[in-house]
Amino acid sequence: MHIMKRALITLCAVAAVASLQSCKMKTADSVVSGDAASRVYVAPGKYDEFYNFVSGGFSGNVTVYGLPSGRLIKTIPVFSVFPENGYGYSEETKAMLNTTNGKVDWDDQHHLELSQTNGKQDGRWLFANANNTPRVARIDLTNFRTQEILQIPNSAGNHSSPFTTENTEYVVAGTRFSVPLGDADVPISSFKKNFKSTASFISVDKNSGHMKIAFQIVLPGMNLDLSHAGKGPSHDWFFFSCYNTEQAYTMLEVNASQKDKDFIVAVNWKKAEEYAKSGKGHIVPASYAHNTFDENTQKASTVMEKDVLTLDPKDCPDMIYMIPCPKSPHGADVDPTGEYIVGSGKLAALIPVFSFDKIQTAIKNKSFEGDFYGIPVIKYEAALHGEVKKPGLGPLHTEFDGKGNAYTSMFLSSEVVKWRLSDLQVLDRAPTYYSVGHIMIPGGDTREPSGKYLVAYDKITKDRYLPTGPELCQSAQLYDITGDKMQLLLDFPTTGEPHYGQGLPASMIKDKQVKYFDINKNHNEFVSMGEKKTKVVRTGNRVDVYMTAIRSHLTPDNIEGVFVGDEVYFHVTNLEQDWDIPHGFAIKNSPSVDLLIMPGETQSIKFSPVKQGIYPFYCTDFCSALHQEMSGYLRVSPKGANVPLKFGSGVIAPETAAK
Ligand code: K7E
Ligand code: CUA
């Protein structure tokens, strides 16, 4: 009762302030100053200054925008199939989506993190998390393709992921939903006893980028929410926010908001690493898929992993400490110096800022107020640098400009609040339209923020764009943060639900983009090295079509002798060796989608005809003036018909018929 009442009062207060705020916000027009347009204008033919990688939320994929223009330049398929280029449909990429539950074609993608060296962006890889079927992906920034996807066992709601340490030693994955280990079948009401949260540390190979779960720390049942690695002096540490330390398993809205404070979980990953190496861990059975795309064979394959090394804090003293943090913290963000750790209590009326120095002193002096399942809980005051008072309502996420300032998104009061790390004074506030989630400053979670722009990713847009029925777009908003006051410059709609984003100077990666794949290095087992090498091969009811594409024809373009019930694989090699000349491939009535084959690459699609007839196929990408001519016919005959296998271009020559 008491709790309900308190929740109600909070809600009323929030509503009152929110309505006040929204009255103020109606004057959106007036907040954009006269020269905003010229500051986001990127003239035709000119490049943007930054790449902005934006998580796709329930779209499962990642989108790439240019800043400051806000122009969408790319969708990178990661966890969801992508009909546009055949990702997840083609024989080469299907295995990327394998899991222990079969092929999972969708996910909820929240956070992105760029690889780092010495705490700075190095422009090598982009990591992405999947919440729903716990996975972490690695995207190569020379070709903007997903190279690797690693499933996370003993996890659910993989939310505090994929944040990285300063040299990308580890990418982390923490459980939002606690679950019993090993997929055990237990009553839900046995949460306290059986449910665990886990923090997985995934090692990343310095050269290849290959990921491996190095160790998994098993924690009491609670909800790990977000995380960030330490920097500089706090290099060895990782900080996770958590909520539901009440350990509720039903009606969390009320039951997980009872305590005044949850925790920031401080993990000394260097210590954990030592414990893992010195045999303090336990290797336990666990099955999870590890999918890798091999550039050489141009094909994804899956290895089913069999075990994982777990660490129990009980066996590993001095590895983990809890820091009380007010009211269901969400973001856990570390400033560029590595000294300040900002917790953002979603329901708190202040922002607590912790000091790494003080945390270390508190540990040394054992300034503890008790323990949580054996993990020492540091006294709040002993860890606290200070509190930002009355920052706004519903603090979620904080980024930094590298000039001693922090910016926190306020979900409930729909604003970004700028405050100073040293004295915790609020310096400026700018409205967002509306209900901002994450914010992003290029490099804003590294040692070296660029400090020029801030992008707010908004959950609700209401009246900001032309209405499109009940489903409205979500949106990003670009602010100039070079002056004392933040200045709104631009709105641009996003794909799916944008959560976190990453931004990096275009100069860091634009000149190392792969323009086409070297056909001489194409080791796809179904490559056709030239038109003369094209063929059609029958093996039982499997038919392999080795096809080439070059402006403006497909070879072979006539195929006969295929029957209902056959499994036909089209392996299309794009022979072009020129930038921006992909060819597409689609065949009539194919339930599978299009392929989009890059120059020098081979891609394959399976087609199982269920009816006799003539099936046209064609290039789907307008590649030349004669693109419309880039087509052919497949003849499908009834099962058992007396039609010999023939293929060719021009007239089908009898000598091409298979023996
Ligand atoms: Cu705040 Cu999933 Cu990072 Cu969204 S989370 S906003
Ligand atoms: Cu090739 Cu159109």
pLDDT of 510 reads: 98
pLDDT of 364 reads: 98
From CA 210, how far away is CA 24, in angstroms rounded? 50
pLDDT of 29 reads: 53
Ligand nearest to the CA of 158: 1
From CA 418, how far away is CA 484, in angstroms rounded? 9
Q: How many CB atoms lie within 10 A of CB 473?
A: 15
Instruction: List the one residue out of 639, 658, 659 whose CA is nearest residue 545.
Output: 658
- Are 254 and 4 a contacting pair, CB within 8 Å? yes
pTM of the model: 0.94
pLDDT of 10 reads: 45
pLDDT of 17 reads: 43
Contacts of 653 (CB under 8 A, 6+ apart): none
Q: How many helices (H) and strands (E) does the chain have?
A: 8, 45
- Are 158 and 135 a contacting pair, CB within 8 Å? yes
- Could you say which residues of the chain have pLDDT below 50? 1-27, 656-659
Question: Is residue 330 within 6 Å of ligand 1 at its C-beta?
Answer: yes
SS3 251: coil
Domains and CATH numbers, the chain: 52-508 (2.130.10.10), 524-648 (2.60.40.420)
- Are 166 and 114 a contacting pair, CB within 8 Å? no
- Are 389 and 332 a contacting pair, CB within 8 Å? no
Residue located via tokens 């040394």: 364
- Are 477 and 432 a contacting pair, CB within 8 Å? yes
How many angstroms separate the alpha carbon of residue 110 from the centre of ligand 1?
Answer: 6
Taking CA atoms only, the protein residue closest to ligand 1 atom 5 is 499
Question: Is residue 346 within 6 Å of ligand 1 at its C-beta?
Answer: no
In this predicted model, what pLDDT tens digit does every residue of 525-563 receive, in sequence order?
999 999 999 999 999 999 999 999 999 999 999 999 999
How many angstroms separate the alpha carbon of residue 650 from the centre of ligand 1?
Answer: 57
* 225 strand-pairing partners: none
Structure tokens at 414: 């729909």
Ligand nearest to the CA of 619: 2
Taking CA atoms only, the protein residue closest to ligand 2 atom 1 is 583
From CA 384, how far away is CA 421, in angstroms rounded? 13
From CA 613, how far away is CA 573, in angstroms rounded? 26
The CA-based angle 572-575-581, given to 5 degrees, is 95
In this predicted model, what pLDDT tens digit does every residue of 582-615 receive, in sequence order?
999 999 998 777 899 999 999 999 999 999 999 9
Q: Which residues line ligand 2 (CB under 6 A)?
A: 549, 583, 619, 621-623, 627, 630
Q: In what order do the strands lie in the sheet with 261-268?
A: 223-229, 237-243, 261-268, 320-326, 375-378, 368-372
From CA 442, how far away is CA 342, in angstroms rounded? 18
Ligand 2: which atom is nearest the Cα of residue 554?
Answer: 1
pLDDT of 97 reads: 98
- Are 557 and 645 a contacting pair, CB within 8 Å? no
The one-character DSSP state at 176 is: S
From CA 303, how far away is CA 383, in angstroms rounded? 44
Average pLDDT along the chain: 94
Residue located via tokens 């996770």: 240
* 136 strand-pairing partners: 129, 150
Q: From 160, 330, 408, 439, give the residue whose CB has the most ligand 1 atoms within 8 Å, as the site to mutate.
A: 330
The one-character DSSP state at 611 is: S
How many angstroms separate the alpha carbon of residue 629 from the centre of ligand 2?
Answer: 8
How many angstroms separate the alpha carbon of residue 578 from the centre of ligand 1?
Answer: 40
